[in-house]
Amino acid sequence: MLTNNLSFFTRTAASRSINLAKSHQLRRQFHASAPNMTIKVYFDTTWYGPLVKVDSNGKPTGGESEAKDRSGRINFELFDDVVPKTVENFRALCTKEKGFGYENSKFHRVIPEFMLQGGDFTRGNGTGGKSIYGEKFADENFKLTHDKPFLLSMANAGPNTNGSQFFITTVVTSWLDGRHVVFGRVPAGDVESMSVVKSIEACGSQSGAIKYKGNPPTIVKAGQA
């Protein structure tokens, strides 16, 4: 589940080089055309913290540094032609059509210049959650790589342990290639969505703990667009 023991942060430079080489091999194996993104979902979120404004590339341009209650929507496009099983799990957890899902769950771990992690709607601390297929399901494939920010990827506790937890990258995270399944993204040029992601990122810390005492970053509603 992007393990809470932070083991991936202690990788040596050599191991990261190996993972980067693997990511280049995976890119060559995948066809050159972009994945089709026919499924669109969203999170309506609230948080207590600053507001970060961004340009069309997701680069911060200013904002409001005052910490206060805020809200905004994050839109996602899902790569259902590449990882249909993983996408269906996320989509159904957004709509809550199985009777459980992301609504009212929190981003329990946020690390600036890395990622936002959420999806633990059973325990809220990174140790819980479940998929629509049962508690866990296998890694579908690693055809897509962590080659840009604002990607959606499955958090896990090791191979074939996917549940409901996910993370949204805020930088390139190539060392996670071959370990975590990429299955979606924030739409390119979606300034509002990227602004919400960067604002929630600003609420985090290097330990992953939310640094503000007010309302933690929360998915108050989720659904299919």
Catalytic residues: 109, 114, 117, 156, 167, 176, 180
Distance CA 166, CA 162 (A): 9
Give 3-state DSSP helix, strand, coil % of the chain, rounded to 5. Answer: 20, 30, 50
Are the CB atoms for 165 and 2 separated by under 8 Å?
A: yes
Name, in order, each residue with C-beta under 8 angstroms of 34's C-beta and a sequence gap of 6 or more: none
Q: What is the CA radius of gyration of the chain?
A: 16
Tokens of 91: 């989509």
* Torsion of Cα atoms, 108 then 208 then 133 then 142, to 10°: 150
Length of the chain: 225
User: DSSP for 176-216?
Assistant: GTTTS-EEEEPPTT-HHHHHHHHHHHTT--TTS----SSSP
